[in-house]
């Protein structure tokens, strides 16, 4: 090892004044390609943020639907984790339970189910979500459709009765075999279908919709709590504003025009925004990164498409609720949107630089 | 009931007719010789010839873009047949097998840093030639294994690639894939090999790997005046044209980089 | 004007307040012949030769080539392939110092740049071995020789120093402000331009003030404080930020009438002409949590890494990475014998727990890399393609426009080694292009012979 040295008065190198460096054996050093630093966020962090953001909506659901909701939640999360573990074992890959993605799928699935769902319904849903929704495509990152929504729609089509038996919210004490009723949107659809008007449906007021004191899937009822969580995600930089804003704007636009044209048969856009699964869908389901476009322009198109389809299904389709179908349809369109909205490469400008100078 | 049946059948008929007409109108004339060559080829579509599969290669042979013996996989019989289809003759060629000229697994070869990155040799080689202290060491990330269409490459537990001769067709894809140029096609009947590619001087080579060829010339000296094994640039080479077949040679090598793999070798050695 | 994309890494400019300190003379220097982009020069010395400080060790071969010079006087111990910061051993001259630091008699006499013709200035700059000191090490005289059809009207002085940790340029601007501005004037004279822009990131207002005050009356420069955002110092983005001009994909700054030069390069050009001194030293920041005494060092080119680290009190036991350059684009080192070279703007020592560990998890399509890419590419898609070895598709995704700034991998929550994917992808895509070109040539030739026959 060569020692660093100063120059003495006679011009000859002198012995070093500074201490010798800690010897480093080269193989101890890490070598990788650049960059050598990182912003800090990782996938488990993102999943944890979403779970935290879901907390207000979850608590509201538990408050209104009581023990039944808690049972669905526990079953769904446990089912998803077990299924994730089993699928990993099946293809002999390390189980990815620690990235929280299976937990998140479980929570989202639970929030999309009626609080009175029988145990087998929840477990089938978990298996479909993780097995058919994710694992068959190769796991996290490769699934084209939102796993929780795949499960919800699978259950809705296979078990329509159980999936539309809504418990009437009665606070934390809601019994497991509580009375059942219709969702606000369901009531409106039925009334209009029978030739009556929206007012006849006796739908709950906006305050109840906002707070969540209405029938529905247990996690979708409290628009206010969900909105709070969504805004928090936005503030933390986990989601981008394009999807929820475009989603809600498109729904409001279409339902608003319909309402203005015929208020007797079309509910006000506020009912559509606050009712049903729109808040949950716009802030938590459509914003799923894996199944939505990567560019901001793409997200705008995606969100607007979701909103448009939701409104169309709700107003003129066979189902009272269309959020799940709308998001799944737009999931299918995601690769196409990504192709359309490739950003322009820096320098591919139409403006010549002389013009830029003049400006 | 009748109307939908008729309508559907009608649509089917129309579509079929359209397809038939299209096939006629847009038919691509192919040289019948191309089909015969494709028929004769192994059909593994391995790409070893450099074309996008056996059919593509056959077309190239007919057009004159490829030599009729350009398929590295097929046997001599097939090469002759392919050549005869286009009215040519081919030279006989000794059957070959791929050989990895490195035994430097993690148990014997030192590393110069902790690698963190993609599990591909060519990508790792971008970072100072890879993590092996030896400048010609197998990086063990399996680029050769990935390109082999015949499953003829395996990774040993110590992280160095190894050819399974029984499966190797000498297509040469692994030779092209190795960023360290460690793979060579050698005659199948050759029994003695120098399994090292390091050109460093003895001490440096020894420091990097215990099974490195040091260029000590012990093997060369036993063949004075005979160029069958010679040492150039601190590395021994075998002249495979007149390769010696003598198990005793391997014992001369102080590091074990000269290896005998003939009938006289232990069974475990032969199968590797 | 602000470019879209980019990231805001923690800047860690802790050494900004440390004065530049000259590194004492060392026993030994290793001077690689190739320290620039372009053809390496021809070696002029052999083992046993006595050399003097500033004596050329190589001579340029061709236009895009520069010589290297002896950092001190002494004896040539060997001319051989020795460790090089780029990773593979390369031809270098090892000099054993005699401690006298005797200057070479053949040095060019000092000259006044205001009286010299541009061609003479260019010759002096090439002979002094001046290369771009921002890190790309492109020979400066080449950049200062735009072809006649490219009308250059704007010289941009790059004082952005957008890489975290590095403060070498910042100190040069503060301590050698007058020389920086004189150097700028010199380069303007070479290019024959009347307009110059100085761009400095907003976290260094003192540097801008120092340069403004030191600006000679006959140098017409505009000063702009730029947004502090990585990669503000990238040529294309700096040009856009200062002039609104966009360098087209695959193009050069000259295509939009600009030439960009680093502040350190300006000083080197001035010293080459004013003092006749070749480029044998540079300012480098030695910093990071794993170095005991961070420094801004004036270090002679060829100083071995271990000696530089020792001068800075050595590294801490938990050192994990030693990087030449900044943390975003720097090159990780593994051999303590590599020399600091003309392009080494800093030595960054990171602790084991600080260095990013790529995990290569699945892409979750979060789009963070798309937002971060300053070139308007889609790193997520390109990474997936490269992961599947489908390199032939990368051309459609403009892989060659990637500037390897690392913004994508910096934000990727799955810790995917995207830059490594793209470095490999670029090499493979260039090979594919080369093959296609060769094939078209072959086909054309065959068609020709068929036509004549």
String of DSSP letters for B35-65: HHHHHHS------TTSSSSHHHHHHHHHHTS
Is C389 at the interface with chain B, CB within 8 A? yes
Question: Which backbone phi and psi does A11 adopt, to 5 degrees?
Answer: 85, -10
B11 burial via Cβ count (<10 Å: 0-12, 13-18, 19+): exposed
CA A134 to chain B, closest CA, distance in angstroms equals 25
> Is the predicted pLDDT of residue B262 greater than 60, yes or no?
yes
* A26-52 per-position pLDDT tens digit: 558 999 999 999 999 999 999 999 999
Residues in chain C: 453
Name every chain A residue with its beta carbon within 8 A of the beta carbon of B112.
26-27
Look at B115 and A31 and tell me if their CB atoms are within 8 Å: yes
**Predicted pLDDT at A218:** 86
What's the rounded Cα separation, in Å, for the pair A336 and A298?
A: 10
CA C172 to chain B, closest CA, distance in angstroms equals 31
* C403-418 per-position pLDDT tens digit: 999 999 999 999 999 9
**Predicted pLDDT at A359:** 42
CA B151 to chain A, closest CA, distance in angstroms equals 20
- Name the CA dihedral angle for A90, A91, A97, A101, rounded to a multiple of 10 degrees: -110
**Residues 6 or more apart whose Cβ sits within 8 Å of residue A45:** C413
Look at A26 and B128 and tell me if their CB atoms are within 8 Å: no
Is A39 at the interface with chain B, CB within 8 A? no
**Predicted pLDDT at A352:** 46
Summarize the confidence of residues B15-43 as an average pLDDT.
87
Taking each helix axis from N to C end, the angle separating A119-127 and A43-90, rounded to the nearest 10 degrees, works out to 90
- Report the share of chain C in percent with pLDDT over 90: 88
Summarize the confidence of residues B176-196 as an average pLDDT.
92
- What subunits make at least 3 CB pairs under 8 angstroms with C? A, B
Look at B117 and A27 and tell me if their CB atoms are within 8 Å: no
The CATH H-level (homologous superfamily) assignment of domain C112-275 is NADH-ubiquinone oxidoreductase 51kDa subunit (3.40.50.11540)
Q: Lowest-pLDDT range, B20-34, B195-209, C114-128, C329-343?
A: B20-34
Helix (H, G, I), strand (E, B) or coil at C320: strand
Q: Number of Cβ pairs closer than 8 Å across B and C?
A: 35
Pick among B111, B113, B132 to test the A interface (most A CBs inside 10 A): B113
The strand ranges marked E within C178-280 are 196-201, 221-226, 258-262
Closest to A30 (Cβ–Cβ): which among B114, B128, B133?
Answer: B114
> Is the predicted pLDDT of residue B268 greater than 50, yes or no?
no
Name every chain C residue with its beta carbon within 8 A of the beta carbon of A3.
27, 307, 310
CB atoms within 10 A of CB B4: 8
Is C334 at the interface with chain B, CB within 8 A? yes
Pick among C334, C338, C432, C441 to test the B interface (most B CBs inside 10 A): C334
Name every chain A residue with its beta carbon within 8 A of the beta carbon of B133.
27
Is A35 at the interface with chain B, CB within 8 A? no
Name every chain A residue with its beta carbon within 8 A of the beta carbon of C398.
345
Name every chain A residue with its beta carbon within 8 A of the beta carbon of C251.
347
Q: Are strands B153-155 and B229-232 parallel, antiparallel or unpaired?
A: unpaired
What's the rounded Cα separation, in Å, for the pair A245 and C448?
A: 62
Look at A347 and C248 and tell me if their CB atoms are within 8 Å: yes
Q: Does domain B96-271 have CATH number 3.30.70.20?
A: yes
- Report the share of chain C in percent with pLDDT over 70: 100
Domain range list for chain B? 31-93, 96-271
Is A33 at the interface with chain B, CB within 8 A? yes
Look at A27 and B111 and tell me if their CB atoms are within 8 Å: yes
Name every chain C residue with its beta carbon within 8 A of the beta carbon of B129.
87-88
Look at A344 and C376 and tell me if their CB atoms are within 8 Å: yes
Exposure string for C368-395, b = 16+ CB within 10 A, e = fewer: bbbbbbbbbbbbbbbbbbbbeeebeebe
Structure tokens given for A301:
């198109």
Is A24 at the interface with chain B, CB within 8 A? no
Look at C335 and B112 and tell me if their CB atoms are within 8 Å: yes
Q: Are C10 and A39 in contact (CB under 8 A)?
A: no
Interface of A with B in 307-346 (CB under 8 A): none
B206 half-sphere exposure, CB direction, 13 A CA radius = 8
Look at C358 and B116 and tell me if their CB atoms are within 8 Å: yes
Look at C246 and A349 and tell me if their CB atoms are within 8 Å: yes
Residues of chain B in Cβ contact (below 8 Å) with chain C: 112-113, 116-120, 122-123, 126-129, 135, 146
Look at A30 and B117 and tell me if their CB atoms are within 8 Å: no
- Report the share of chain A in percent with pLDDT over 70: 87
Name every chain C residue with its beta carbon within 8 A of the beta carbon of B122.
424
Closest to A26 (Cβ–Cβ): which among B113, B117, B127?
Answer: B113
**Predicted pLDDT at B270:** 47
> Is the predicted pLDDT of residue C124 greater than 90, yes or no?
yes
Is C430 at the interface with chain B, CB within 8 A? no
Look at C424 and B120 and tell me if their CB atoms are within 8 Å: yes
B258 burial via Cβ count (<10 Å: 0-12, 13-18, 19+): buried
Structure tokens given for C156:
């941009």
Pick among A34, A40, A342, A345 to test the C interface (most C CBs inside 10 A): A34
> Is the predicted pLDDT of residue B264 greater than 70, yes or no?
no
**Residues 6 or more apart whose Cβ sits within 8 Å of residue A145:** A133, A291, A328, A331, A332
Q: Are C307 and C300 in contact (CB under 8 A)?
A: no
- If you ran DSSP here, which 8-state letter would residue A343 be given? P
**Predicted pLDDT at A2:** 36
* A230-262 per-position pLDDT tens digit: 999 999 999 999 999 999 999 999 999 999 999
Q: For residue A318, what pLDDT band results from cuts at 50, 70 and 90? A: confident
Look at B126 and A33 and tell me if their CB atoms are within 8 Å: yes
**Max Cα separation, chain A?**
110
Is C27 at the interface with chain A, CB within 8 A? yes
Question: Which backbone phi and psi does A140 adopt, to 5 degrees?
Answer: -50, 130
**Span A43-340: which CATH code?**
1.10.3430
Question: Which backbone phi and psi does C379 adopt, to 5 degrees?
Answer: -60, -35
pTM of the model: 0.89
The rounded Cα A222 to chain-centroid distance in angstroms is 16
Look at C358 and B117 and tell me if their CB atoms are within 8 Å: yes
Name every chain B residue with its beta carbon within 8 A of the beta carbon of A31.
113-116, 127-128, 131
Is C398 at the interface with chain B, CB within 8 A? no
Domain range list for chain C? 112-275, 368-447
CATH class of B31-93: mainly alpha
* C11-34 per-position pLDDT tens digit: 999 999 999 999 999 999 999 999
Name every chain B residue with its beta carbon within 8 A of the beta carbon of A33.
117, 126-127
Summarize the confidence of residues A139-160 as an average pLDDT.
94
What's the rounded Cα separation, in Å, for the pair C360 and C69?
A: 43
What's the rounded Cα separation, in Å, for the pair B90 and C197?
A: 69
What's the rounded Cα separation, in Å, for the pair B222 and C82?
A: 35
Structure tokens given for A297:
């322009």
Closest to B112 (Cβ–Cβ): which among A26, A32, A33?
Answer: A26
CA A24 to chain B, closest CA, distance in angstroms equals 11
* A80-131 per-position pLDDT tens digit: 999 999 999 988 887 778 889 999 999 999 999 998 899 999 999 999 999 9
Interface of C with B in 294-313 (CB under 8 A): none
**Max Cα separation, chain C?**
76
Q: Are C421 and C382 in contact (CB under 8 A)?
A: yes
Q: Is B183 left (phi over 0), alpha (psi -120 to 50) or beta?
A: beta
Closest to C406 (Cβ–Cβ): which among A28, A35, A346?
Answer: A35
The per-residue pLDDT of chain B, averaged, comes to 87
What's the rounded Cα separation, in Å, for the pair C349 and C333?
A: 10
Name every chain C residue with its beta carbon within 8 A of the beta carbon of B127.
87, 332
Summarize the confidence of residues A56-85 as an average pLDDT.
93
* C140-183 per-position pLDDT tens digit: 999 999 998 889 999 999 999 999 999 999 999 999 999 999 99
Summarize the confidence of residues A150-162 as an average pLDDT.
93
**Predicted pLDDT at B272:** 44
Say which residue, C209 or A213, is predicted with more confidence: C209
Q: Are B151 and B167 in contact (CB under 8 A)?
A: yes
């Amino acid at each position: 090892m060569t020692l660093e040295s100063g120059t003495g008065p006679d011009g000859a190198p002198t012995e070093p004044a500074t201490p010798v460096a800690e010897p480093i054996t080269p193989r101890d050093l890490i070598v990788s390609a650049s960059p050598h630093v990182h912003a800090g966020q990782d996938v488990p962090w993102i999943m944890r943020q979403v779970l935290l953001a879901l907390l207000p909506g979850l608590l509201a659901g538990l408050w209104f639907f009581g023990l039944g909701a808690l049972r669905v939640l526990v079953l769904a999360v446990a089912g998803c984790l077990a299924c994730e573990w089993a699928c990993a074992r099946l293809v002999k890959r390390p189980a990815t339970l620690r990235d929280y993605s299976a937990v998140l799928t479980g929570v989202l699935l639970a929030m999309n189910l009626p609080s009175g769902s029988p145990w087998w319904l929840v477990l089938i849903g978990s298996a479909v979500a993780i097995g058919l929704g994710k694992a068959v495509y190769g796991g996290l990152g490769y699934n084209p459709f939102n796993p929780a929504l795949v499960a919800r729609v699978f259950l809705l089509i296979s078990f329509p009765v159980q999936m539309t038996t809504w418990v009437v919210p009665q606070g934390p004490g809601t019994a497991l075999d509580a009375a059942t009723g219709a969702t606000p949107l369901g009531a409106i659809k039925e009334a209009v279908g029978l030739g009556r008007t929206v007012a006849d449906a006796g739908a709950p007021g906006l305050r109840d919709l906002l707070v969540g004191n209405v029938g529905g899937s247990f996690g979708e009822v409290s628009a206010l709590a969900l909105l709070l969580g969504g805004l928090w995600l936005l503030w933390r930089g986990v989601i981008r504003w394009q999807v929820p804003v475009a989603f809600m704007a498109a729904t409001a636009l279409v339902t608003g025009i319909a309402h203005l044209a015929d208020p007797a048969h079309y509910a006000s856009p506020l009912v559509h925004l606050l009712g049903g699964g729109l808040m949950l869908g716009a802030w938590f389901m459509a914003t799923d990164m894996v199944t939505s476009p990567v560019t901001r322009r793409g997200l705008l198109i995606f969100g607007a498409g979701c909103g448009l389809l939701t409104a169309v299904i709700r107003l003129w389709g066979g189902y009272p609720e269309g959020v799940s179908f709308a998001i799944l349809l737009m999931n299918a369109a995601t690769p196409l949107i990504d192709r359309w909205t490739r950003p322009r490469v820096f320098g591919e400008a139409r403006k010549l630089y002389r013009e830029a100078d003049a400006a | 009931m009748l109307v939908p049946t008729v309508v559907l059948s009608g649509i089917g008929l129309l579509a079929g007719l359209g397809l038939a007409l299209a096939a006629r109108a847009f038919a691509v004339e192919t040289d019948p010789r191309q089909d015969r060559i494709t028929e004769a080829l192994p059909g593994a579509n391995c790409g070893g010839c450099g074309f996008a599969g056996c059919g593509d290669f056959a077309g190239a042979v007919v057009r004159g873009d490829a030599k009729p013996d350009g398929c590295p996989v097929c046997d001599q019989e097939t090469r002759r047949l392919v050549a005869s289809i286009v009215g040519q003759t081919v030279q006989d060629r000794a059957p070959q097998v791929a050989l990895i000229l490195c035994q430097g697994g993690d148990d014997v070869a030192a590393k110069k840093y902790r690698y963190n990155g993609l599990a591909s040799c060519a990508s790792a080689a971008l970072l100072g030639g890879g993590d092996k202290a030896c400048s010609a060491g197998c990086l063990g990330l399996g680029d050769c294994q990935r390109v082999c269409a015949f499953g003829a490459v395996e990774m040993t537990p110590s992280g160095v690639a190894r050819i399974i001769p029984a499966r190797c067709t000498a297509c040469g894809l692994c030779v092209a894939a190795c960023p360290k140029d460690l793979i060579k096609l050698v005659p199948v009947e050759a029994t003695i090999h120098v399994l090292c590619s390091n050109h460093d001087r003895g001490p440096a080579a020894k420091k990097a790997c215990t099974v490195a060829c040091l260029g000590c010339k012990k093997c060369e000296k036993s063949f004075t005046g005979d160029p069958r094994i010679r040492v150039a640039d601190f590395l021994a080479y075998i002249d495979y044209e007149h390769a010696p077949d003598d198990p005793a040679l391997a014992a001369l090598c102080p590091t074990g980089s000269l290896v005998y793999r003939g009938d006289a070798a232990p069974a475990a050695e032969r199968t590797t | 004007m602000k470019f879209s994309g980019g990231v805001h890494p923690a800047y860690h400019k802790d050494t900004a307040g440390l004065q530049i300190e000259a590194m004492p003379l060392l026993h030994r220097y290793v001077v690689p012949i190739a320290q620039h982009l372009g053809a390496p020069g021809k070696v002029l010395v052999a083992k046993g030769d006595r050399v003097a400080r500033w004596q050329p060790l190589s001579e340029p071969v061709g236009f895009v080539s520069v010589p290297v010079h002896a950092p001190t006087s002494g004896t040539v111990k060997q001319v051989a392939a020795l460790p090089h910061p780029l990773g593979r051993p390369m031809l270098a001259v090892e000099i054993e110092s005699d401690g006298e630091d005797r200057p070479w008699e053949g040095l060019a006499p000092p000259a006044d740049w205001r009286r010299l013709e541009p061609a003479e200035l260019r010759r002096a700059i090439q002979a002094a071995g001046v290369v771009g000191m921002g890190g790309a090490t492109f020979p400066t005289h080449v950049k200062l020789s735009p072809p006649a059809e490219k009308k250059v009207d704007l010289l941009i002085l790059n004082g952005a120093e957008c890489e975290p940790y590095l403060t070498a340029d910042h100190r040069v601007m503060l301590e050698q402000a007058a020389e920086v501005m004189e150097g700028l004037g010199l380069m303007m004279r070479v290019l024959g331009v009347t307009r110059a822009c100085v761009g400095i990131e907003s976290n260094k207002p003192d540097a801008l003030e120092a340069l403004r005050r030191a600006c000679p009356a006959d140098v017409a420069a505009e000063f702009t404080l730029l947004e502090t955002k990585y990669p503000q110092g990238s040529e294309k983005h700096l040009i856009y930020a200062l002039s609104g001009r966009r360098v087209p994909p695959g193009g050069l700054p000259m295509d939009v009438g600009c030439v960009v030069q680093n502040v350190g390069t300006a000083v080197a050009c001035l010293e080459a002409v004013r003092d006749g001194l070749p480029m044998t030293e540079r300012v480098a920041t030695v910093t990071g949590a794993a170095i005991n005494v961070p420094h801004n060092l004036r270090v002679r080119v060829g100083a071995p890494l271990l000696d530089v680290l020792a001068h800075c009190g050595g590294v801490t036991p938990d050192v994990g990475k030693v990087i030449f350059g900044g943390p975003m684009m720097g090159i990780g080192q593994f051999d303590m014998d590599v020399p600091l070279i003309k392009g080494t703007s800093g030595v960054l020592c990171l602790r084991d727990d600080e260095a990013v560990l790529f995990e290569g998890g699945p892409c979750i399509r979060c789009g963070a890399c798309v937002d971060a890419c300053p070139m308007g590419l889609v790193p997520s898609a390109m990474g997936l393609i490269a992961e599947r070895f489908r390199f032939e598709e990368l051309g459609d995704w403009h892989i060659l426009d990637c500037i390897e700034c690392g913004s994508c991998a910096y934000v990727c929550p799955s810790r995917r080694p995207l830059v490594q994917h793209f470095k490999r992808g670029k090499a493979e895509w260039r090979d594919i292009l080369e093959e296609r070109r060769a094939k078209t040539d072959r086909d054309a030739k065959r068609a020709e012979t068929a036509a004549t026959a």
